[in-house]
Amino acid sequence: MKRIAFFDAKTYDEEFFNRYNKNYKIKYFESKLNQDTAYLAKGAVGVIAFVNDEINATTIDKLHKLGVKIIALRSAGYNNVDIRAAYQKITVVRVPSYSPEAVAEHTMALLLNLNRKIHKAYSRTRDFNFSLHSLLGFKMHGKTVGIIGTGKIGRAFANICKGFGMKILAYDLYPSSEDLEYVSLERLFRESDIISLHCPLTEETKHLIDENSLNMMKDGVYILNTSRGALIDSQALLAALKSRKVSGAGLDVYEEETEIFYEDYSDMIIDDDTLALLVSLPNVIITSHQAFFTKEALETIAQTTLTNLDSFFLGEDLENEICYLCREGEDALKCRKNRKRCF
Ligand code: NAI
């Protein structure tokens, strides 16, 4: 049986992968994959990695030297992989869509909680405090929500917002939904009551929300990010929350989450002052990159990852391969138009 090294493994990962795995000897490691832990893949022909693994050029070189042929990401986003460095060395595959609706539903859960202060009401009534002071919300029906990135998740979130009777302004490099009103980024920033981020993290989108864009926004705007942390300049967001420019932020991702999210630091003092301050604000809700975390998504992740490995080792067409020549949107998969593989 081919050996596969599985990084950043949690008990729920093992449960779902063991349920569907028939063809591989999988060794589960709690460690995240990075240049210091790559050696753990010795003897493996493939690795399975996740969103906070640091798969930079050095990690890739080390894996390559160990004989690893494929990196199977059990995520949709791949900003943590240096795909240019991997090109012609190690094939990279991903799970492009495991539950866009789950991520969209979590985004709406963050907004509903922030708006109606459910997180505060919950702890208050448990203490038999039934007062309504400081729990005042706003009606969402009729409000304008700006959606940046209208791919699978952004589109699913737009559908939910439509159900709430909200007005939608959309921005995407490749507008694809005829029933959405696409506007310039600047107009979206200026006119939205709520802004939700659903585009990938790229060099272009890094710190899309910064001091400059925050200044363009309406006073009292709400910001939601269930995409990738570095889309937001956290310092700028913190300043805007403190100045009351931003009325609330629902964050499932954080730019410095790599060492922190998915771990229990409840009996320690964390060194990240920005995160500590964000967590301390009553109008900020942070969840630990859990928007995808449904049983349906874990099933799809396990099944698709194992199918990706099967297709690779059987020499079949690799539907979910990514490489640096493949681009989002219109150019996607152009580089292997007449081939089964990118290289
Ligand atoms: P997708 O590929 O279906 O959609 C992304 C959209 O963003 C596309 O329409 C694309 O044209 C657009 N886009 C690309 N560059 C852009 C730019 N510079 N400005 C505006 N739009 C741009 O991806 P999907 O499945 O909707 O996922 C979106 C993001 O959600 C992923 O990149 C990932 O980072 C994040 N994600 C988060 C999860 C979580 O648990 N919090 C789970 C899964 C994905």
Per-residue DSSP letter, 108: H
Residues of the chain with pLDDT > 70: what percent? 97
Which has more pLDDT, 104 or 317? 104
Ligand 1: nearest atom to the Cα of 155: 26
The per-residue pLDDT for 329 is 47
The per-residue pLDDT for 176 is 92
Q: In what order do the strands lie in the sheet with 70-73?
A: 24-28, 2-6, 46-49, 70-73, 91-93, 321-322
The per-residue pLDDT for 134 is 95
CA distances from 334 to 70, 231, 343 (A): 21, 27, 12
What's the mean pLDDT in 199-227? 97
The gap between the terminal CA atoms of the chain, to the nearest Å, is 25
Residues of the chain with pLDDT > 90: what percent? 90
pTM above 0.75, yes or no: yes
The per-residue pLDDT for 323 is 87
| Cβ–Cβ under 8 Å, residues 326 and 335 | yes
| Cβ–Cβ under 8 Å, residues 321 and 92 | yes
208 lines ligand 1 (CB under 6 A): no
Query: How far is the centre of ligand 1, averaged over its atoms, from the C-alpha of 332 (Å)?
Result: 14
| Cβ–Cβ under 8 Å, residues 115 and 136 | no
Which of 240, 236, 279, 275 lies closest to 258, judged by CA?
A: 275
Query: How far is the centre of ligand 1, averaged over its atoms, from the C-alpha of 156 (Å)?
Result: 12
Cα–Cα distance, 168 to 143 (Å, whole number): 8
Can you list the domains of the chain with their CATH numbers?
2-98+295-336 (3.40.50.720), 100-286 (3.40.50.720)
